[in-house]
Amino acid sequence: MDFSFSTEEEAFRQEVRGFLEENLPDPVPTTPEFLREWNAKLRAKRWVGFAWPKEEGGGGGSLIEQYILKEEMSLRRAPPLGSDFMGLAWVGPALIRHGSEAQKKRFLSDILDSSSLWCTGYSEPDSGSDLASLKTRAVRDGDEYVVNGQKIWTSAAKQAKWIFNLVRTESSSRYGGITCLLIPMDTPGIEIHPIDNLSGRPGFNEVFFTDVRVPVENRLGKEGEGWRVVMGALANERSGISESTEMTRKLDSLIELARNSRKAGRPALEDTSVRRELAAFDTRIEAMRLNGMRNLSRQLKGDPPSSETSINKLLRGALEIRMAELSLEVLGSASQLEGPWQNAALSFHGTVIGGGTPNIQRNIIGERILGLPKD
């Protein structure tokens, strides 16, 4: 297997570096004005939606160059490519795959321009890991669906303009009775109740639907095709090929923390157990990178992201938790104070669950990759 990049790909890397040198101040500002300008510059270069087809408003770039772009951005700790995270990561790709021409026209450019914000309505109080058991009901009434039910853990629902929502249109078929609806969050009958998480910040919400009327034209794919739509969207959510670069940056910060903290009277970085753990993190991040490459090479052959994305999701979760725990050990009594590592330690447990718990990833790896029998 050859992991080297072609001359054109290396030239593109230099172009990205040059752009970052010219346009990204150090330290990186976090003001809304800067982020707006930054998104506009990236959009003008067609780097937001880099690998989306040109006819859909994207950059028409290759997946390898997209990987290089994300890697270089992450190395410089640049803000994300566009601000509509869910729109870019899975709603847009699902629209490109399953949407009508009218839907693509209506939604894609807003996602690329960072002028929309999507949230995702999968989980319900009794349907998380077993998502296909969802009960929020949509009943057809002429040219509309009437939606009743409840979603939970809906990240960013309070700020979002639209929800990518799974509903049940048929109760006799478990998978074939699920449909995907695109619903404006200001539709009468939608009520949002924020839920505070462990770190004290509002993150996710309960979303209640009472007789919410949704035009049939807002259905993504055919009635009963929602499961197919969402399986692709979930693989996109978990694929995160460039995540290994992000984890490398986190490891760099952890090494810095260990260098500047003291354990038993000497720099924590000199402690053998700390050094062993840091080395193990580095090895696992490299495994993530290579697995990401494996998934990328599948996609280059025209296949969609596969079950292998679960491997990186699982690896990342375990890494996030152990890195956060080690940071608290290194901080010692200072771990009781407020700070970025302390906050991270409070949020990582949730991050690991979002997009599917570790047990569910293990089931997917066991059944779909290793071919083990379903228990």
Ligand X SMILES: Cc1cc2nc3c(=O)[nH]c(=O)nc-3n(C[C@H](O)[C@H](O)[C@H](O)COP(=O)(O)OP(=O)(O)OC[C@H]3O[C@@H](n4cnc5c(N)ncnc54)[C@H](O)[C@@H]3O)c2cc1C
| Chain residues that interact with ligand X, rule: CB under 6 A | 119-123, 128-129, 153-155, 204, 350-351, 353-354, 356-357, 359-360, 363
In the complex, minimum distance from the CB of residue 318 to ligand X, in angstroms, rounded to a whole number: 14
Q: Which is nearer to ligand X, 228 or 313 (CB)?
A: 313
Q: CA 271 to CA 332: how far, in whole Å?
A: 14
Q: Which is nearer to ligand X, 54 or 201 (CB)?
A: 201
In the complex, minimum distance from the CB of residue 206 to ligand X, in angstroms, rounded to a whole number: 11
Q: How far is CA 223 from CA 144, 185, 232, 271, 284, in A?
A: 12, 21, 17, 59, 42
Q: Which is nearer to ligand X, 235 or 274 (CB)?
A: 235
Q: CA 160 to CA 337: how far, in whole Å?
A: 32
Instruction: Note whether 120 and 163 are within 8 A (CB).
Output: yes
Burial 136-153 (b: 16+ CB within 10 A, else e): bbbeeeeebbbbbbbbbb
Q: Please list the residues that pair with 190 across neighbouring strands.
A: 209
Does the active-site annotation cover 237? yes
In the complex, minimum distance from the CB of residue 117 to ligand X, in angstroms, rounded to a whole number: 12
Q: Which is nearer to ligand X, 120 or 179 (CB)?
A: 120
265: left (phi over 0), alpha (psi -120 to 50) or beta: left
Q: Which residue has the tokens 């490519």?
A: 81
In the complex, minimum distance from the CB of residue 289 to ligand X, in angstroms, rounded to a whole number: 24
Supply 66's token pair: 């997209």
Start-to-end CA distance of the chain, whole Å, equals 35
Q: Which is nearer to ligand X, 62 or 343 (CB)?
A: 343
Nearest residue to ligand X, by Cβ distance, number only: 128
Of the candidates 71, 124, 237, 277, the residue annotated as catalytic is: 237
Q: CA 139 to CA 168: how far, in whole Å?
A: 8
3-state SS of 32-71 is: HHHHHHHHHHHHHCCCCCCCCCHHHCCCCCCHHHHHHHHH
In the complex, minimum distance from the CB of residue 128 to ligand X, in angstroms, rounded to a whole number: 2
Supply 344's token pair: 């991270």
Q: Which is nearer to ligand X, 329 or 367 (CB)?
A: 367
In the complex, minimum distance from the CB of residue 305 to ligand X, in angstroms, rounded to a whole number: 18
Instruction: Note whether 154 and 170 are within 8 A (CB).
Output: no
Please list the active-site residues. Answer: 237
